Copies of this chain bind each other. A is one copy, B any other.
C-alpha cells in the first residue's frame, strides 16, 4: 500500500507508520520462531507508559506457554479460532484486574483517597475493563513495534476463561491475543475501512 500524501503530516516517519498501522495485519498463521520473555518484557516496558485513568494500569497479561495451559484454553475458544490458538508460538490472555484500586496509593500518590472513590465494585469493574481495553490498544501497537504480528481474538467464552484461569475472582478476561512471526498465508486481502467522513464530524 502506498502511503498517502497526508503521511507527511506526521512526526513519525512513513516506515514506522506502515509498521504499526498501514502494513500491519492480524496474523492467522505463525512460524515456529519463538517469542521470548525478553521481547514480552520489552513490549510491556514500553507500553506501560500509555495513559490510564488515575494511572491505575488495570491490564494483566497471562502468557500460556506450557502445552498444559494451552490445552486448558482450547475448550473455551470458538472453533474458527482454535487452529490459530493451538499453532501460535505465544498466546496471551488479556484481563482486567478489578481490584486495581488497591495499588492507587502507590500509583497515584498525590491523591491517595482515589482508592476510596472506587469502593463500589461494579463501577470499579467498568473502569477496570475500559482502561485495560485502552491498554490492549497500546499493547497491540507495542507488539507491532517489536516487529511481531498480533492476532487479537474475541471469539471465546470470556466467562469460562475467567473461571478457568482467574479463580481469585478479581480478574476478568477481555481478549485473547496470539503473537508471533507471520506464517504462510497469514492473512486475506485487507478489509475495507470506513472513510473519515463517516467517522469524524464537527460541531
- Contact between A64 and B203, CB atoms less than 8 A apart: yes
Size band of the interface chain A makes with B: 35 or more
Tell me the complex Cα distance, A136–B137, Å. 8
Q: Which of B57, B136, B201 contacts A193 (CB 8 A)?
A: B57
Tell me the complex Cα distance, A152–B56, Å. 14
Asked whether any CB of chain B lies closer than 8 Å to the CB of A118, the reply is: no
Q: Which of B49, B69, B110, B137 contacts A50 (CB 8 A)?
A: B137
Q: A9-B38, A145-B11, A191-B108 are in contact. Are A196 and B137 (CB under 8 A)?
A: no
Closest B residue to A137 using CB positions: B137
Count of chain copies: 2
Asked whether any CB of chain B lies closer than 8 Å to the CB of A66, the reply is: yes
Chain B residues contacting A59 (CB-CB under 8 Å) are 199
Q: A residues engaging B (CB < 8 A)?
A: 4, 6-7, 9-13, 16-17, 19-22, 24, 26, 37-42, 44-51, 53, 55, 57, 59-66, 68-69, 103, 106-110, 127, 129-130, 133-138, 140-142, 145-147, 150, 152, 154, 165, 174, 188, 190-194, 196, 199-203
Chain B residues contacting A130 (CB-CB under 8 Å) are 129, 133, 154, 174
Chain B residues contacting A46 (CB-CB under 8 Å) are 7, 10, 17, 21-22
Tell me the complex Cα distance, A50–B144, Å. 11
